[in-house]
Structure 1
């Protein structure tokens, strides 16, 4: 399975966390990273997005560039347990899949899949990583590529 995990683009701080919107810089970052993904051989067939505004806005840009369907998932908000996302991945192993979410979830999910722990690696805004997994599980993924804004 190929899995692309992406953090939303830069967002403003003028409102409640779940309502924060992308800045112009954030929109540019997302477009740049999505264009790089579009040129790669690992285009997703489906995008899972957080319900938070900045993630949905990021997903809208990415989905348009990649011409990809989107499903909103309530279990991939900033402080959700990466184990819940892992459980969902086990149930739905469509490949390739893209997840657009937030820190610390994107960092903890990535390290759970690659290293088998949840300490979390840092992600810049609009950064994405490509993981390749022969089977879905903790410590089963290899980092194959990074897409930077």
Structure 2
């Protein structure tokens, strides 16, 4: 399975957490990453997005540039258990797949898949990492590349 895990673009702080919107700089950074992914062998046909506004906006930009479909998933918000996402991947191993979410989930999910623990690595806004897994499970992924804004 090929999986890209991405943190949403930069968002403003002027409202409730779930309603925060991307800044103009955030939109531009997401667009740059989308173009990098589009020129790579990792181009996804499906995007899973957090229901938070900034993640949905990020997924929308990615979908437009990559010509991909979006599915909103309620279990990939900032403080969700990465194990729930792992369970969903086992049930629906679409590949390549792009997950657009938040810190700390993107860090803990990536670390769970690569190193089999949940401490979590840091992600910049609009950063994405490409993982490849022969089988889906903790510690089964190899970090292949990253996409930076």
Deviation at 1:88, TM superposition (A): 0.2
TM-score, normalised with respect to structure 1: 0.99
1:85 to 2:79 alignment: no
Structure 2: segments with no counterpart, 5+ residues: none
- Look up the match of 2:138: 138
- Look up the match of 1:119: 119
Q: Distance in 1 between matches of 2:16 and 2:5?
A: 24
- Look up the match of 2:46: 46
Q: How does 1:1-149 map to 2 (within 5 A)?
A: 1-149=1-149
Provide, for residues 96-126 of structure 1, a one-character-per-residue CA deviation record: whole Å limited to 9, x for no partner: 0110000000000000000000000000000
Structure 1: segments with no counterpart, 5+ residues: none
Q: Distance in 2 between matches of 1:15 and 1:77?
A: 17
Q: Distance in 1 between matches of 2:69 and 2:61?
A: 12
Secondary structure of the residue aligned to 1:48 is: strand
TM-score, normalised with respect to structure 2: 0.99
Secondary structure of the residue aligned to 2:9 is: coil
Deviation at 1:94, TM superposition (A): 1.3
Provide, for residues 8-48 of structure 1, a one-character-per-residue CA deviation record: whole Å limited to 9, x for no partner: 00000000000000000000100000000000011112100
* Segments of 4+ moved more than 6 angstroms: none
The Cα RMSD (Å) is 0.4
Q: Distance in 1 between matches of 2:80 and 2:140?
A: 21
Q: Distance in 2 between matches of 1:61 and 1:42?
A: 17
Q: Distance in 1 between matches of 2:18 and 2:100?
A: 14
